[in-house]
């Protein structure tokens, strides 16, 4: 008789596998695997067809390329999804030949004279690039910061645009028999494109994912019935055949070809990283840096195998990532089943012959749709780039310009030395290298490029040690542009030397401003221009930059009249210009609204408000100066920068800070969904904001994390405000249950050590504030002294409810960004 389990003998629980690791029944594996093959098939076979057409291969050679490609795709997909040792990410990721390689491979082959001779140089470059990717994989996390959206977006856009001429050549009949005047060719190309668009318009889900494949099938069928497609090669092909290593001959090697292919693999590594994180999100499985390294090793190994088995560079196929989201089938063994199907298809030469029979105009119409979509993805990526920064305009414009130059005029390659002809023979290679190099020059090299900290009279980057050793005249010349008009604020800040750290330097300017008498402050205010006034020759560059951030440099007549009316009424009442830190205001209408509300203040209160606005403007300008000295660092990140960074040699400081934030960003990208939501909630407990920031992963840099966070926190609903404020204790009170204890205690440390009278005044002010606004007083306490917090509290008690709500939104945003910086550090 069995005994009942006792308390000391816990019942054994059955372990539950993650859905990714579950092996489905064979019938389901087969059905779902075929779905992946269908979604992938068109993209897989297009690359060898386009390449063969461009470099002049025979139909028999093309059939072998198609079969070799499908065979190796299957092997690569099994390696990536099933994995072994430290190779393969073990996620439902299907591998295919990357479009990025098409143009460079054509250039490599044509530089060697085309045909099978050109193929040998392609395979030599593919093999070396595969080995490079395999051994580079563990270190790629350190390199990804060199591939921000300004680089990847530019490259992907170039890929799409540069491949369109290849598609267009097929659309007019192909390289062997082009005829742009043929109505028949045009009809097949546009007809195929129309079918693809129609299917995507009518159908959703899986049917929409196979629109290109359906377009190719329908276009080829129509051509066959009209006598314009021949399947004679089908009868001549065998039923069974396996590609053999080095079928076309022993690979040959060229330095320029290898460099070109390594660039391709670096770009695809960025794409793979994004696909890995995206798939991890979809299947709800945590992805870390080691997982990315496993995926890249698989890419490298598959590419190496591709070079041996007569195929090409491999990467994860984004189309199949979307299919995983669509079907919600998370098992990686489904992709492994798809890999088995592709291996089987790759062993049937007749299947390759069937694909090789697609008429060039039909293929061209489908390729136009595919490559144009690639360009759109690039444009979407570029939408995340800050084009107010002229450096990014130069990077994108120059790279795309050079890529299009050699794409439109390919014979330009003949004007350069032979070793460089491969680079100049491909718009993708030249444009990619240009984007990578210019990004390094403009954003990563801190040796005299761009303005220094504040434009020292002698030029160069100014470090804190130099600041402490400056003469008064040099100090004023360096930092005088923080304020308009007289230099007494900067001169008095100079008397606070030596500065222990960057916050001490900033605080010196604030102390000098706020400790001045009323007459001095009013005189300083008079030197600031009115909001909305014309940018005359006397307006400083700093004022122009401030206004440009809020769109006040290009006002239409109606806007100009509104601002003129406001500033005239303001001057008439207070006798000073209307001053506002417009960088802290999201919309132009809010600037006007705030200005009219301030007309209700008393003259004394309004002068205090104006002085605080001057301090805010100076803070932004100070951030600009530090950011200009070190373009890699964010203005908000440099606000928290410790001075030993400034006293360290620039190159060492740059590397240490970059690596610190790169590691933090990688760690943030690798967090599981639950973990990242918990971390973000400690920064700002607003679900909409948390969703927006979490959904943007993976981020290439801390700058992009903070940009997304800042945009998502531009405004909050009343309900969101109430929920977020509930997480913040009163200023001066100890954080308790329900509060973000760790952050709050650290941020308010200055209040806890303040003078007892100041603490009492803050507590009394809290009560007055809550009686008036029915909410807790909120301010970014980090970096502020207790007297500064008290002064802000007393000032804001004079706000209207609408004006105060806007300030609360700003403070919530600043607190969230400051905390998020700490997470990323």
Percent of the chain with pLDDT over 90: 3
Last residue within a domain, chosen from 646, 678, 695: 646
pLDDT of residue 389: 66
Its domain, for residue 146, covers: 19-238+247-443
How far, in Å, CA of 386 to CA of 493, rounded?
A: 33
Instruction: Evaluate whether residue 682 is within a structural domain.
Output: yes
Span 303-357, pLDDT tens digits: 999 889 888 888 877 656 656 765 667 788 888 888 888 888 888 877 777 767 7
Q: Answer yes or no: is 491 within a domain.
A: yes
Which residues are CB-contacts of 19 (< 8 A; sequence separation ≥ 6)? 283, 284, 330, 331
Same domain membership, residue 399 and residue 301: yes
Give yes or no for residue 377 having a pLDDT over 80: no
Residue tagged 């392609």 (tokens):
122
Same domain (yes/no): 341, 485: no
In this structure, what DSSP letter does residue 318 have? Answer: H
What interhelical angle do 102-111 and 115-136 show, nearest 10? 130
Site of tokens 């291996």: 343
Q: pLDDT, tens digit, for every residue of 197-241?
A: 888 788 776 666 677 777 878 888 888 888 877 777 767 767 887
Any idea which residue has 């070190």 for tokens?
Answer: 630
| Same-domain pairing of 638 and 660 | no
Q: What is the mean pLDDT of residues 771-778?
A: 84
Sequential DSSP letters for 671-728: S-HHHHHHHHHHH---HHHHHHHHHTPSPSSHHHHHHHHHHHTS---HHHHHHHHTTS
Q: How many domains, in total, are found in the chain?
A: 3
Handedness of CA 110, 113, 114, 118 (dihedral sign): negative
717 belongs to a structural domain: yes
386 and 492 inside one domain: no
Is the distance from CB of 793 to CB of 779 less than 8 angstroms? yes
Residues 24 and 66 in one domain: yes
* Confidence at residue 127, expressed as pLDDT on a 0 to 100 scale: 93
81 and 90 Cβ atoms separated by less than 8 Å: yes
Higher pLDDT, 122 or 454: 122
Q: Which of 589, 611, 646 is the last residue of a domain?
A: 646
Between CA 511 and CA 79 the distance in angstroms is 63
With 90 as the cut, is the pLDDT of residue 531 above it?
A: no
Which of 360-369, 435-444, 785-794 shows the lowest mean pLDDT across its residues? 785-794
Residue 91 CA to residue 70 CA, distance in Å, equals 20
- The CA distances from residue 463 to 331, 454, 456, 486, 647, in Å, are 55, 11, 11, 25, 6
**At 340, is the secondary structure helix, strand, or coil?**
helix
Same domain as 501, residue 426: no
Mapped onto helix, strand or coil, the DSSP state of residue 97 is strand
Domain membership of residue 459 (yes or no) is no
Q: Which residue has the higher pLDDT, 667 or 124?
A: 124
Longest Cα pair distance anywhere in the chain, in angstroms?
A: 100
Q: What are 537-558's pLDDT values in tens digits? A: 555 666 666 655 555 555 566 6
Angle at 293 between CA 289 and CA 297, to 5 degrees: 170
Q: CA quadruple 212, 217, 222, 224: dihedral positive or negative?
A: positive
Is the whole-model pTM more than 0.85?
no
Q: What 3-state class would DSSP assign to 284?
A: coil
**In the predicted structure, residue 695 carries a pLDDT above the cut 50:** yes
Q: Which single residue is written with the structure tokens 């903070």?
A: 706
Which parts of 137-231 fold into alpha helices (H)? 140-143, 149-171, 183-202, 206-209, 211-225
* Final residue belonging to a domain, choices 414, 443, 472: 443
Q: How many CB atoms lie within 10 A of CB 11?
A: 5
259 and 300 within one domain = yes
DSSP state of 484: S
Q: Give kind and range of the element (H or E) at residue 125.
A: helix 115-136
Residue 48 lies in a domain: yes
**Domain assignment of residue 14, yes or no:** no
472 and 362: one domain? no
Instruction: Say yes or no: 374 and 515 in one domain.
Output: no
Q: Are residues 388 and 512 in the same domain?
A: no
How far apart CA 737 and CA 718 sit, in angstroms, is 23
Q: Which of these ranges, 249-263, 264-278, 571-585, has the smallest mean pLDDT?
A: 264-278
Structural contact between residues 72 and 307, judged by C-beta atoms closer than 8 angstroms: no
Per residue in 706-715, pLDDT tens? 778 877 887 7
How far apart, in Å, are the Cα atoms of 223 and each of 42, 162, 246, 485, 542? 18, 28, 35, 77, 65
453 part of a folded domain: no
Is 363 part of any domain?
A: yes
My answer on whether 41 and 143 are in the same domain is yes
Same domain, 641 and 667: no
pLDDT at 126: 92
Q: Which CATH number belongs to the domain containing residue 507 in this structure?
A: 1.10.3330.10
| Residue 128 pLDDT > 90 | yes
């Amino acid at each position: 008789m069995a005994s009942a389990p006792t308390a000391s003998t816990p019942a054994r629980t059955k372990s539950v596998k993650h859905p990714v690791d579950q092996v489905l029944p064979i019938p389901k594996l087969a059905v779902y695997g075929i779905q992946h093959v269908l979604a992938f098939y068109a993209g897989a076979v297009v690359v060898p067809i386009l390449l063969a057409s461009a470099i002049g291969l025979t139909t028999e050679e093309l059939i072998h390329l198609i079969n070799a490609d499908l065979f190796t795709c299957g092997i690569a997909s099994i390696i990536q999804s099933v994995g072994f040792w430290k190779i393969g990410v073990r996620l439902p990721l299907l591998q295919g030949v990357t479009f990025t390689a098409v143009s460079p491979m054509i250039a490599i082959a044509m530089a060697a004279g085309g045909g099978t001779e050109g193929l040998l140089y392609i395979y030599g470059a593919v093999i070396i690039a595969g080995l490079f990717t395999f051994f580079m994989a563990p270190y790629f996390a350190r390199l990804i910061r060199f591939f921000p959206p300004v680089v990847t977006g530019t490259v992907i856009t170039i890929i799409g645009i540069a491949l369109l001429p290849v598609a267009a050549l097929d659309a007019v009949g192909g390289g062997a028999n082009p005829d742009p005047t043929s109505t028949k060719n045009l009809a097949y190309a546009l007809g195929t494109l129309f079918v693809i668009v129609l299917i995507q318009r009518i159908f959703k889900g899986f049917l929409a994912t196979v629109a290109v494949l359906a377009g190719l099938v329908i276009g080829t069928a129509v051509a066959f019935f009209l006598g314009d497609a021949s399947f004679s090669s089908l009868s001549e092909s065998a039923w069974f055949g396996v590609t053999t290593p080095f079928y076309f001959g022993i690979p040959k090697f060229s330095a320029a070809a290898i460099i070109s292919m390594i660039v391709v693999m670096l770009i695809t590594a960025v794409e793979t990283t994004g696909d890995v994180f995206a798939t991890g999100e979809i299947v709800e499985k945590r992805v870390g840096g080691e997982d990315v390294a496993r995926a890249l090793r698989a890419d490298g190994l598959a590419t190496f195998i591709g070079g041996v088995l007569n195929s090409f560079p491999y990467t994860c196929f984004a189309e199949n990532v979307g299919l995983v989201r669509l079907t919600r089938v998370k098992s990686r063994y489904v992709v492994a089943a798809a890999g088995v199907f592709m291996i089987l298809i790759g062993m049937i030469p007749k299947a390759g012959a069937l694909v090789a029979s697609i008429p060039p105009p039909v293929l061209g119409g489908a390729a136009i749709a595919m490559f144009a979509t690639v360009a759109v993805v690039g444009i979407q990526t570029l939408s995340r780039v800050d084009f107010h920064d002229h450096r990014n305009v130069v990077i994108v414009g120059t790279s795309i310009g050079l890529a299009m130059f050699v794409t439109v005029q390919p014979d330009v390659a003949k004007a350069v030395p032979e070793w460089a002809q491969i680079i100049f023979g491909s718009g993708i290679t030249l444009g990619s290298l240009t984007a990578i190099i210019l990004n390094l020059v403009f954003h990563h090299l801190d040796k005299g490029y761009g303005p220094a900290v504040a434009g020292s009279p002698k030029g160069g980057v100014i470090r804190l040690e130099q600041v402490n050793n400056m003469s008064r005249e040099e100090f004023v010349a360096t930092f005088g542009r923080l304020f308009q008009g007289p230099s007494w604020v900067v001169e008095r800040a100079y008397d606070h030397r030596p500065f222990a750290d960057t916050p001490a330097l900033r605080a010196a300017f604030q102390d000098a401003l706020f400790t001045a008498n009323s007459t001095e402050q009013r005189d300083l205010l008079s030197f600031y221009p009115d909001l909305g006034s014309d940018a005359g020759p006397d307006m400083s560059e700093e004022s122009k930059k401030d206004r440009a951030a809020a769109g006040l440099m290009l006002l239409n007549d109606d806007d100009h009249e509104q601002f003129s009316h406001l500033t005239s009424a303001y001057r008439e009442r207070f006798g000073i210009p209307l001053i506002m830190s417009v960088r802290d205001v999201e919309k132009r209408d809010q600037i006007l609204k705030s200005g009219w509300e301030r007309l209700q203040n008393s003259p004394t209160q309004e002068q205090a408000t104006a002085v605080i606005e001057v301090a805010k403007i100076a803070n932004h300008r100070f951030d600009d100066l530090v950011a200009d000295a070190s373009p890699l660092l964010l203005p908000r990140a440099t606000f928290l920068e410790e001075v030993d960074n400034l006293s360290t040699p620039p190159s060492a400081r740059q590397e240490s800070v970059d690596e610190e934030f790169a590691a933090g960003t990688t760690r943030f990208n690798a967090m599981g969904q639950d973990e990242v939501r918990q971390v973000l909630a400690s920064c700002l407990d607003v679900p909409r904001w948390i969703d927006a920031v979490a959904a943007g992963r993976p981020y290439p840099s801390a700058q992009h994390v903070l940009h997304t966070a800042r945009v998502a926190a531009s405004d909050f609903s009343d309900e969101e405000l109430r929920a977020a404020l509930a997480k913040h204790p009163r200023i001066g009170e100890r954080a308790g249950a329900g509060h973000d204890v760790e952050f709050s205690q650290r941020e308010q440390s200055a209040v806890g050590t303040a003078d007892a009278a100041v603490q009492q005044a803050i507590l009394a002010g809290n009560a007055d504030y809550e009686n008036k606004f029915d909410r807790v007083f909120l301010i970014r306490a980090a970096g502020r002294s207790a007297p500064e917090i008290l002064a802000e509290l007393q000032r804001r008690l004079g706000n209207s409810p609408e004006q105060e709500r806007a300030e609360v939104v700003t403070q919530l945003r600043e607190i969230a960004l400051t905390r998020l910086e700490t997470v990323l550090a």
